[in-house]
A and B are shown apart, each in its own frame.
Chain A
């Protein structure tokens, strides 16, 4: 068996939190346009908004929230000036409340279900949640205490939303948890993949710190499948949770591919080192999901004169949320629908255009989205000096490496307890989710539910009502 974790001992020196965090450069005025888009609510704004909440019973916002935060409860606590209690209410349901407050597509979730939405403006739930979260994070208030140790040891693979949530929930229950993260920084997608405009990296790292204070150990630079076998890890642990997310951006499989910039890397650099991000003057982003819009936004805000999103189907089939689409248009990003790239045009390694063909919509596919077909002899050239691809992510490679059963979509298959076909090996987050919608908050819920299933499996006890 070659299922290994890379040099766990070597990783001890690089535990997140014991090292200094990278100096974030997006506070540089030259790159100020990437700063968090929405300002925090002032105390008075939060109070006014909180008082607007009707305090629904069995509220639809709570139903719509994948982690089922008691939203009227936390908002009422803001209204009564019990911000600490408000934060606790949020975190008890969702340990990544600060990230979710910023990245959740609230229009599709809580705010979309608000009873005031029909005739009035829905309550700004996301921003109120952020207000309560900022209150405790800014003051360094530690909400949770160590639970008495159960002696059970759990390994978590991946420190993204699913892994972090699972780790924190297990730690609250008294288990010994170690998180293995292959990257240098912890936080996964929240750290590397959410544009600063929506969530500054400090927020994601602060959440990791909170989970660390709950007693969870983090080992960075530790990748499964390198030097330690899965079976070794299984021997050291009573259970394992895989929150490894998805793989890299797939190939476009068109000539000139080597000149294409990877969208995820583009976002990553915009967070880690925006001043060295190479941004073209005329940028084309291929793909029409939320990542594509994020890439286009970065390009636009970091100086591109023209940014165009190219998508082979029409606006009705694009996977980006409607509010993201609207946001992109307000940013001045252009859309070129029914357009399929066929080759990158470059000379001496310098991109000067993208050859495309016109597409026509055909039959609906199994998901109900209409497929598109090339229109014969419709090839045309779009000038561009940078082409970025944001066309989704590969399925998790760990599935085949570990010999895990997969769903038809290629995602890791789990049962109702988030357990894979290997007993004691659990999985959650994007690695198991065939649809990418609301991935952060869904991953948090997966991690939470998997933690409860693991707890029950290991102790025979249900999760206590009040922790």
Chain B
């Protein structure tokens, strides 16, 4: 059976799943309950400067019947007195020596303020400190949170202050609200950060109430941007995670990354690990379903590791990073076509309309007799389920015209009905990079490109 233990820059936990610094880690009682449920660690809700919170602080985005595909919040850092937090951190750590207890901190951008908070955190016996450079609302207006994370120089300077005082591992948590995530990561690494974590929440406005014309959620008639998180942000998080893993400077620093951003299931977790995370943090899924989800997170991950023959989490970390490519290095000769399985097809024609309106017009409707028909070709007097079902045409891909764009595959509602079939390439393997080196004019001039296409028999209609 797979070993889920991790050693993250010296912070040990029985599994890679930590609660992210967020409402679920607001108090000792909550973290205690989470550890009872099986969570490997917890990053305490950020302590630091004094704050006051507002009501209606969480907004949500629902899609169809799926509630809370994303959450947004304008909740600030912990609004509980710092002494109480520190006492509860100490109690929790004493009761749970095998779990990772990390304390997130955010104070004014003064060295003495950071030195002070680091010492007070270390006094609790906590295993690590996470520097909250990510919070995009409220705290940033006061020069903290993402106001730091967005400026690599600040990021570097504050990390240095912390490292001057800290004896336990320091994790720098990055904000995604930045053009290039690599810059603050490099800055933190060069300042001696022991680890990185990402992503914090994204700037967002959840919507406008169409009755009142107020921002949702309305806080006494007003609203504004809040931090956006949950399943909808996962692809953004994976991209930023892989950007760090594939950056030679960050990678060379050797510091581990704690991944987060929409992790809801063990599958999400495995993907974060494969793209370079060594520990994982979860918030929205817990806010939605409670601490109990840890059981399947561990069980599912463990079963998948067993099925793949992976023994440890460390073995998985970054295993798919070598699969991350820039476009210029992709094989232009690679060829797939979509194929619709008639025995699975329910003839909803979603592939037909997608292909014909938005892609390459290469799906036809075929009658039982084998001829191509246009949609809505039945007579106005035809009706009844027998007529409708027995005469309904079958969508079929004209493979010679299919560019393998994969749109139909993506929208088909039936499991395993449309298959992307890999076909032998028409021509020798070549990347754009190779092409621009070997035949530069082809990549710069349309006439040369057209000649190249003719020579290569590339026909794009």
Seen from chain A, the residues whose Cβ lies within 8 Å of a Cβ on chain B are 47-48, 51, 54-61, 63-66, 68, 79, 107-109, 112-113, 115-116, 118, 437-438, 442, 445, 449
List B contacts of A108 (CB < 8 A): 384-385
Chain A residues near B350: list those with CB within 8 A: 54-57
A64 proximity list for chain B (CB < 8 A): 383-385, 387-389
Q: Is the CB of B65 within 8 A of A438?
A: no
Pairwise interchain contact A66-B348, C-beta atoms closer than 8 A: no
- Chain B residues closer than 8 Å to A449, beta-carbon distance: 380
Q: Which of B375, B378, B385 contacts A112 (CB 8 A)?
A: B385
The minimal Cβ–Cβ distance linking A367 to chain B, given in whole angstroms, is 16
Is B413 among interface residues, defined by CB-CB distance under 8 A? yes
Instruction: Kindly state whether residue B353 has any CB partner on chain A within 8 Å.
Output: yes
Minimum CB–CB distance for B174 against chain A, Å: 36
A112 surroundings in chain B (CB, below 8 A): 384-385, 389
Residues on A with beta carbons closer than 8 Å to the beta carbon of B385: 60, 64, 107-109, 112-113
Q: For residue B352, give the distance in angstroms from its CB to the closest CB of chain A.
A: 6
Q: In the complex, which residues of chain B have a beta carbon less than 8 angstroms from the beta carbon of A66?
A: 383-384
Contacting A at CB under 8 A, from B22-80, are: 64-65
**Contact A63-B387, Cβ < 8 Å, known A51-B64, A58-B376:** yes
CB neighbours of A59 from chain B (8 A): 348-349
B 329-344 binary contact with A (CB < 8 Å = 1; else 0):
0000000000000000
10 A-B Cβ contacts within 8 A?
A54-B350, A54-B413, A57-B350, A59-B349, A60-B385, A63-B387, A63-B391, A65-B383, A68-B380, A115-B348
A449 CA / B381 CA spacing, docked (Å): 10
18 more A-B residue pairs beyond the given contacts A58-B352, A64-B385, A442-B383, with a C-beta to C-beta distance below 8 A: A47-B65, A56-B350, A58-B365, A58-B375, A60-B347, A60-B385, A60-B392, A63-B382, A63-B391, A65-B383, A66-B384, A107-B385, A112-B384, A113-B385, A118-B346, A437-B384, A445-B383, A449-B380
> In the complex, A405 Cα to B413 Cα: how many Å?
52
- Proximity bits, B355-393, A CB within 8 Å = 1, else 0: 000000000010000000001101010111101110110
Chain B neighbourhood of A118, CB < 8 A? 346
Within 8 Å CB of A54, what residues of B?
348, 350, 413
Inter-chain contacts of B413 with A (CB < 8 A): 54
> A57 and B375: CB pair below 8 A?
yes
Most buried by B among A68, A107, A118: A68
Which residues of A lie under 8 Å from residue B353 when comparing CB positions?
Answer: 57
- Min CB distance, A462 to chain B, in Å? 13
A438 in complex: contacting residue of B348, B352, B384, B392, CB < 8 Å: B384
Chain B residues contacting A51 (CB-CB under 8 Å) are 64-65
Instruction: Count how many pairs of residues, one from A and one from B, have CB atoms less than 8 Å apart in the complex.
Output: 73
**Residues of chain B contacted by A79 (CB below 8 angstroms):** 64
Residue of B nearest to A116 (CB): B346
Closest CB of chain B to A463's CB: distance in Å? 12
**Chain A minimum-CB-distance residue to B413:** A54
Q: Give the one of B64, B348, B385, B413 with max A CB within 10 A.
A: B385
A51 to B347, CA, bound (A): 19
Report yes or no: B388 in contact with A60, Cβ–Cβ below 8 A.
yes
Q: Across the interface, do A115 and B347 meet the contact criterion of CB distance under 8 Å?
A: yes
Return the CB mask of B408-420 against A: 1 if under 8 Å, else 0: 0000010000000
CB pair A115–B375 under 8 Å, yes or no, is: no
Cα A59 to Cα B348 in complex, Å, equals 7
Shortest B385–chain A CB gap in Å is: 3
| B349: contacting residue among A58, A68, A107, A445, CB under 8 A | A58
Q: How many B residues face the partner with a CB closer than 8 A?
A: 24
Given A58-B375, A68-B380 in contact, is the A63-B348 Cβ separation under 8 Å? no
Given the complex, which residues of B lie within 8 Å of A61, measured CB to CB? 388
CB distance from B415 to the nearest CB of A (A): 10
Bound Cα distance A335, B389 (Å)? 32
CB distance from B363 to the nearest CB of A (A): 11
Select from chain A the residue with minimum beta-carbon distance to B378.
Answer: A63
Query: How distant is the Cα of A47 from the Cα of B375 in the complex, in angstroms?
Result: 28
B227 CB to nearest chain A CB (Å): 27
Q: What residue in chain B is nearest A441 (Cβ atoms)?
A: B383
Residues of B close to A115: CB separation below 8 A: 346-348
State in angstroms the CA–CA spacing of A66 and B381 once bound together.
7
Residue of B nearest to A446 (CB): B381
Q: Is the CB of A113 within 8 A of B388?
A: yes
State how many angstroms separate the Cβ of B146 from the closest Cβ of chain A: 34
Distance, CA A113 to CA B383, complexed state (A): 10
- Distance in angstroms from A269 CB to nearest chain B CB is 33
Given A54-B350, A54-B413, A115-B348, A60:B389 Cβ within 8 A: yes
Within 8 A of A (CB), among B236-288: none
Q: Which residue of A lies closest to B349 (CB)?
A: A57
B246 shortest CB reach to chain A, Å: 39
Q: Are B384 and A57 in contact (CB under 8 A)?
A: no
Q: A51-B65, A63-B378, A449-B380 are in contact. Are A113 and B389 (CB under 8 A)?
A: yes
A437 to B387, CA, bound (A): 14
Give the docked Cα–Cα distance between A269 and B385 (Å).
34
CB neighbours of A57 from chain B (8 A): 348-350, 352-353, 375
Determine the distance from Cα of A69 to Cα of B386 in the docked complex, in whole angstroms: 17
Q: Which residues of chain A come closer than 8 Å to B388, judged between CB atoms?
A: 60-61, 63-64, 113
Distance in Å: Cβ of B375 to nearest Cβ of chain A: 4
Cβ of B380: which chain A residues have Cβ within 8 Å of it?
68, 449
Please give the distance in Å from A139's CB to the nearest CB on chain B: 17
- Report chain B residues within 8 Å CB of A116: 346
Residue of A nearest to B383 (CB): A66
Complex Cα distance, B64 from A203, in Å, reads 31
Closest to A55 in B: B350
Cα–Cα, bound, A115→B414 (Å): 11
- Minimum CB–CB distance for A92 against chain B, Å: 15
Closest Cβ–Cβ distance, residue A271 to chain B (whole Å) = 28
CB-based nearest A residue for B391: A63
Residue of B nearest to A448 (CB): B380
Nearest residue, chain B, Cβ from A449? B380
Specify which chain A residues have a CB less than 8 angstroms from the CB of B349 in the assembled complex. 56-59
B392 surroundings in chain A (CB, below 8 A): 60, 63
Give Cα A231 to B383, complex, Å: 36
**What's the Cα separation between A48 and B375 when bound, in Å?**
28
Chain B nearest CB: distance from A110 CB in Å? 8
Minimal beta-carbon separation of B387 from chain A (angstroms): 7
CA distance A68 to B382 in the complex (A): 9
Complex contact B64–A63 (CB within 8 A)? no
**In the bound complex, CA of A108 to CA of B352 (Å):** 26
Task: Report the bound CA distance from A60 to B393 in whole Å.
Answer: 10
* Residues A63 and B347 in contact, CB atoms below 8 Å apart: no
The answer for the CA separation of A38 and B347 in the assembled complex, in Å, is: 30
Q: A108 vs B384: C-alpha distance in the bound complex, in angstroms?
A: 6
CA A184 to CA B378, docked complex, whole Å: 40
Residues of A within 8 A of B378 (CB): 63
| A55 and B64 alpha carbons, distance in the complex (Å) | 13
Q: How far is the CB of B64 from chain A (nearest CB, A)?
A: 4
Query: In whole angstroms, what is the CA distance A59 to B389 when docked?
Result: 10
Please give me the residue from chain B that is nearest to A58 by CB atom. B375
4 closest Cβ pairs, A-B complex: A112-B385, A58-B375, A64-B388, A57-B353
Residues of A within 8 A of B375 (CB): 57-58
Choose from B348, B365, B383 the contact partner of A109 (Cβ within 8 Å). Answer: B383
* Residue of A47, A61, A66, A113 with most chain B CB atoms under a 10 A cut-off: A113
A305 to chain B, nearest CB (A): 37
In the bound complex, CA of A113 to CA of B388 (Å): 6
With a CB–CB cut-off of 8 A, which chain A residues contact B376? 58
Question: Complex formed: what's the CA distance from A386 to B391 in Å?
Answer: 47
- Alpha-carbon distance between A118 and B350 when the two chains are bound, in angstroms: 17
**A54–B376 alpha-carbon span in the complex (Å):** 18
Q: B210 CB to closest chain A CB, in angstroms?
A: 9
Cα A60 to Cα B383 in complex, Å, equals 9
Residue of B nearest to A67 (CB): B383
A118 CA / B347 CA spacing, docked (Å): 11
Most buried by B among A64, A65, A107, A445: A64
Interface centre among A56, A112, A437 (most CB of B within 10 A): A56
